[in-house]
Structure 1
Amino acid sequence: MELRNQRILITGGAGLIGSQLAKRLADANEIRIVDDLSNGIADSLPDEVEVVEGDITDESVVADVVTEDVDAVFHLAADKYVNTDRPREQMEVNETMTYNLLERMDEVGVDNILFTSSSTVYGEAPRPTPEDYAPLEPISVYGVTKLAEEGLLSVYAHSHDFTVWNFRFANIVGPRYGAGVIPDFVYKLTQDPESLTILGDGRQEKSYMHVDDCVDAMCHVVEHATGSMNTFNLGTRTTTSVTRIADIVSEEMDVDPEYEYTGGDRGWTGDVPKMRLSIEKLAALGWEPSLSSDESVRQGVRDVLSDPENEPHLSV
C-alpha cells in the first residue's frame, strides 16, 4: 500500500506513536484521528489533522469515524498497562475496540488495517525471538489481550479478505512519553537527585526502540509487505538493562544517585525480565534501525527532558 493520497484513520492517534505517525503521514495523506485523550495530547498533532475525541468501545463512535471513504485504519488505541490492576476491564476494553473496528470496516468495505501488538505475546521465550516462535504463552493479561486481538485480525485476513499489518513491538521510547521506566526515573530524580529506587534487581534487560525508528519501520512494512496477514517484530538488535537506563538518565540529568533495588528478577508480576526480538524478517524486507537500544534510551531521555509538556504527565 502506497502511503500517499490515502484517507487514514488512526485510533489512539494522540499518543506517543500515533502522534509521530500522524506527523509523518499528514503531508501526503488525509488523516483522521480518534482518541479519548485519556493518555494522548491533542495539541501535539499537526493542524491539518482531523481530531475526533471519542471512545471506540462505543459502536456509535466507530460508526462515525470508520466511513466508506477511509482507505485504511491504523489501530493503535489500547489499554497499554502491562501491570494493570484492572485485568478484566483491560481484556474487555481491548477486545471490544478491535472487534468494533473490524465489524464496522467489514460493513463499509474498508479492508486495510495496521495493528500495534506487543512483544508480550511471546511470554518468556528464547532470545532473539522470531515471529514464528511457538507456543505463544504470554504471562500478563496485557499480552493475552494482544494475542486475542491478533486472533481476530487473522480471522478477518483469512476469511474476509482483509490486509493486516501486525506489529509486535519492543519497548518504544520518545517525546511525550508519559509512562514507563524513563519518565519514572526522570520524575524520581527530579524529586530526589540523591537516591533512586529501581524495581527488581536492575538486571532486567530488554530492547528499546526510538519512536522515530518505530514509525519509519511501520511505514516501510506497510509499503512493502503484501501478504494478507503480515506479522513483523519491531525492535533493535541490542538490549539495555534497567540499571543501565538509570545510569543514562543520571548522566543526562547530571546527578549521581545511590541506587536502591526492591529485589527479585522482575519489576512486577507479569513482567518479562529478558526480551530481545529477532528483526531478521524486517531486515529481509530492507529495513534496519538507525539507533541501538542504548542510543534509543539516551534519545528518549533527552526527549523527555527537553519537552516542557512532559512534566505533568510523568509516571510516578
Structure 2
Amino acid sequence: MALAKDPSSFTPSPRTILLTGVAGFIGSHTARALLAAGHRVVGVDNLNTYYDVRLKDYRLDLLLGGDGSRLGPSPTDSAFAGIEEVHGAFTFKALEVEDSAAVNRLFADYRFDAVINLAARAGVRYSVEHPELYASTNVSGSVNLLQAMSKSGVNKYVLASSSSLYAGAPAPFVETHNVNRPLSPYAASKLAAEAMAYSFHHLHGIDVSVLRYFTVYGPASRPDMSPLRFLKWIDEGTPLTLYGDGSQTRDFTHVDDIVAGTVAALRPLGYEVINLGGGNTPMSIRRLIALFEEALGKRAIIDQQPFHGGDMQDTAADVSKAERLLGWAPTVKPEDGFRRMAEWYQANRSWLRGIRL
C-alpha cells in the first residue's frame, strides 16, 4: 500500500545510490539526474555486447567528465571494460549483477541508501532466441541484489519493468490488468523480477517501486530500437526494415520524463507497480518515420517485413497512478522529443555512422 503523503512534498536528501545498468540508455540519463540533484552514485554495468558497446562508452565518458569521444576500438570492445573509475560523486565499476560474489563485495564496500536496478537484457525478439540470458540477468541478477539488500539493511529498491507485460490486454493499460501470460521470454523475465521483488518486500520489508516503462526514446538510445535505427537508415539511404504495415502504435515516452519518474519513485511507497508512459497518446510507426523524414530532409526506403508475433500491436499507458503517488506526468510531446532526438543525431552523425545496428 502507498504511504499517505503529498507526493509533491517529497524531496530526497543526498544519498548514496547503487545504479545498475549505468552505461545503458536510461541508466546513464538517470545517473546524470541523480548527480545533478546532489546524490552520490555508484554505477555498475557488465558492458555486454548485445549492441555496439561504443554507445555505452559514449554515455559513460560523459558521466566521467569526458566529451563522449572515449570509445572502444570495435563494437565488442569497450574502453571501460574491467575498470573502476571515479569522477566527482560518480563511481563506475564494471560488474555483472549475475555474479553474486561480486554483488556481495560491492555491498561490503559501500553503504547504500537505495538501489535502482536498471540492469537488464532487453529486446523481445532476441529473448526468443536466447531465453537463458534473460533468466540469468533479469531474474537471477535481481535476486542477487535483493539478497544483498536484505543482508545489508538497504531498504529502498526501484525496479525497471516493462509495458511488454501487457501484451494481449485491452488498452489503455492499467497496473491492475492481469499480466500472468507473458508472450515472450523477455516479458516473462520481467514478471519474474517483479514477483521476486514482492517476495522480498513481504519477507524482509524492503520498500519497492516497480516501474513499467513504455517505449522510451531520446538521445543516445539503443540501436536495436526503432528511433535510432530509423534515423540512421533514412540518413544513410539504407532500406528501413518495417515489421508490419506501420499502423501499429506505441505510447512513446521521452527519456527525460522516464528519469523524472524514476527519481521520484525513490520515495517510500511500500510495494507499488506504476506505469511510466506517454499518457495514452500513442503514435504510429508510420508517423514516426514521417517525422524523421521531415527532420532529415530525406525520404525513407521501406523494406516491409511480416509483423513479429512477439511484438504488440498497440501500447497505451494509463498513468493516473503515477500522478497520484509520484506527482508525475509526462511533459515532452512526441513530436518535440523526436525532433530533439534528430538534432542530437545530426550533431553526432560523424561517429554514429560507424555504430553497428
Q: Normalising by structure 1, what TM-score? A: 0.91
Which of 24, 36, 49 matches 2:46?
36
C-alpha distance in structure 1 between counterparts of 2:198 and 2:157, whole Å: 11
CA offsets 1:265-310 (integer angstroms, 9 cap, x no match): x3x2311111111111112232221123343333333333333554
Report the counterpart of residue 174 of structure 2 in structure 1: 130
Is 78-87 or 303-312 further displaced after alignment?
303-312
1:65 paired to 2:106: yes
CA contact (8 A) 1:116 1:167 kept: yes
CA RMSD of aligned residues (A): 1.9
Shift of 1:7: 0.6
CA offsets 1:135-154 (integer angstroms, 9 cap, x no match): 43221110000000000000
Shift of 1:258: 4.2
Q: State the AA in 2 paired with 1:245.
A: L
Which of 4, 8, 27 matches 2:17?
8
Cα 1:233–1:314, aligned 2, differ >3 Å: closer, same or farther?
farther
C-alpha distance in structure 2 between counterparts of 1:119 and 1:161, whole Å: 26
Report the counterpart of residue 241 of structure 1 in structure 2: 284
1:52-91 matched pairs, under 5 angstroms: 52-67=93-108, 69-84=111-126, 85-91=129-135
Which of 164, 167, 187 matches 2:211?
167
Shift of 1:173: 0.7
Q: State the AA in 2 paired with 1:279.
A: V
C-alpha distance in structure 1 between counterparts of 2:270 and 2:216, whole Å: 26
CA offsets 1:189-208 (integer angstroms, 9 cap, x no match): 23316x53322111110111
C-alpha distance in structure 1 between counterparts of 2:294 and 2:356, whole Å: 19
Shift of 1:311: 4.0
Q: State the AA in 1 paired with 2:97.
A: I
Cα 1:132–1:290, aligned 2, differ >3 Å: closer, same or farther?
same
CA contact (8 A) 2:19 2:41 kept: yes
CA offsets 1:61-84 (integer angstroms, 9 cap, x no match): 212222461111110001112111
1:251 paired to 2:273: no
1:181-200 matched pairs, under 5 angstroms: 181-192=226-237, 195-200=239-244
- Unaligned 5+ runs, structure 1: none
Q: Secondary structure at the match of 1:26?
A: helix
Which of 267, 286, 290 matches 2:331?
290
Report the counterpart of residue 22 of structure 1 in structure 2: 31
Q: Secondary structure at the match of 2:230?
A: helix
CA contact (8 A) 1:71 1:110 kept: yes
Q: Secondary structure at the match of 2:231?
A: helix
Q: Secondary structure at the match of 1:66?
A: helix
Q: Secondary structure at the match of 2:246?
A: coil
- Unaligned 5+ runs, structure 2: 1-9, 65-86
Paired residues, number: 309
Shift of 1:209: 0.7
1:189-228 matched pairs, under 5 angstroms: 189-192=234-237, 195-223=239-267, 226-228=268-270
1:306 paired to 2:342: no
Shift of 1:314: 5.1
Cα 1:314–1:278, aligned 2, differ >3 Å: closer, same or farther?
farther
CA contact (8 A) 2:156 2:266 kept: no
CA contact (8 A) 2:146 2:200 kept: yes
